Amino acid sequence: MKQIIFFLLLVLFANIFSTNTLAQSPAAAPKAAAKPAPATPAPATAPAKPLVPSLPQSPTSDSSSGQDIIKILRKAKSFNTLIRLLKTTQIINQINAQLVTTKNGGLTILAPDDGAFSQLKAGYFNSLGERQQKELIQFHVLPVYVSSSNFDSLSNPVLTLASDSPSGYQMNVTAYGNSVNISTGSVNATLTGIVYSDKTLAIYHVDKVLIPLDFSKPKALAPAPALAKAPKADKDNSSSDDDQGSTKATSGAIGLLGLQGTMFVSIFVAALTMFI
């Protein structure tokens, strides 16, 4: 009897356990971690478009010539006149010294070719004084490095090596499209290409010699010294003296005539008495 009761209890517990197990809902499966959306790459910045076209002669730096300006111009050809003037005015020494001492500023040279110099009036350069000859060459050098795509960032008026004051020897630079124009007030020129360019030195071909407006300004004449005026009192005194002298001379003449007349009458009376 006890065995039967024990068996029935075992069956009952087995049914209850199986019922509870089936009634329980299965545990929710863990959610898969959301994958991060792939980052959209930022669009690459397009390099600034050069405003001055490159020339076939020597558009980039050359390790054989380095920053030797004379070698660069000689290799580019047709800059013989500029080379000669850089040497005779000794401006090349100033430019080379400035390239050595400069740290971030650099230099920009606007180089007219032989054809540009031939457009000048015959003997024009030799007609200038020694100081103006140097200033003319210095006027073609900017004391900063300007890349071929940064001419539109310059602020006008642009200073040059010849600018000895904030208002002298300046030029205006206008950049639009693929053209860079330069106006000095006397000459309008255009940059036609890159002769040389690195991080501190840029040389550009310009189609005309840049004549500063200061060269055409008439020089102010020194005022003529004012003539000293004679004091008024002296003039009056001299007039009075002249009048007194004239009066004295007239009185003397009248007195002389009166004396001569008296003598003539006396003689005439004496002669008449003798005949009577």
In a domain, 20, yes or no: no
Residue 102 maps to a domain? yes
Is residue 195 domain-resident? yes
Is cis: bond before 157, omega within 30 of 0?
yes
pTM for the complete prediction?
Answer: 0.60
Residue 78 within any structural domain of the chain = yes
Number of compact structural domains in the chain: 1
- Name the residue range of residue 191's domain: 69-215
For the domain that residue 130 is a member of, what is the CATH number?
A: 2.30.180.10
- Residue pair 55/195 in contact (Cβ under 8 Å)? The answer is yes
Along the 276 residues of the chain, how does pLDDT read in single tens digits? 666 666 666 666 556 545 554 444 444 555 555 555 555 554 445 445 565 656 554 444 444 456 799 999 999 989 999 999 999 999 999 999 888 886 667 899 999 999 999 999 999 999 999 999 999 999 999 999 999 989 999 999 999 999 876 667 889 999 987 899 999 999 999 999 999 999 899 999 999 999 999 887 655 544 555 555 555 555 445 444 555 555 554 455 445 445 455 554 455 445 545 555
Would you say residue 210 lies in a domain?
Answer: yes
Residue 233 lies in a domain: no
Q: Is residue 107 part of a domain?
A: yes
**76 lies in a domain?**
yes
Q: Are 19 and 12 in contact (CB under 8 A)?
A: no
pLDDT in tens, 45-84: 544 556 565 655 444 444 445 679 999 999 998 999 999 9
